Amino acid sequence: MGSGQVSGAGPRGPAASGEQVYQGLRAQILRLDPASAGLQQGSPRQVVWGALMETGYPRGTATLVALADGTTTAGTSFRRCSTRPTA
Q: Is residue 24 part of a domain?
A: yes
Residue 33 lies in a domain: yes
- Using one digit for the tens of pLDDT, what is the confidence trace for 26-37? 898 889 888 888
The pLDDT assigned to 54 comes to 92
pLDDT of residue 15: 60
Does residue 6 lie in a domain region? no
Indicate if the pLDDT at residue 1 is higher than 80: no
Higher-pLDDT residue of 39 and 82 is 39
The residue among 74 and 84 whose pLDDT is bigger is 74
List the beta bridge partners of residue 74.
64, 82
4 in a domain, yes or no? no
60: pLDDT strictly greater than 70: yes
* Residue 75: domain span: 18-39+49-84
Q: Please tell me the pTM assigned to this model.
A: 0.62
Euclidean distance between CA atoms 82 and 68, whole angstroms:
18
Total structural domains within the chain: 1
Is residue 34 situated within a structural domain? yes
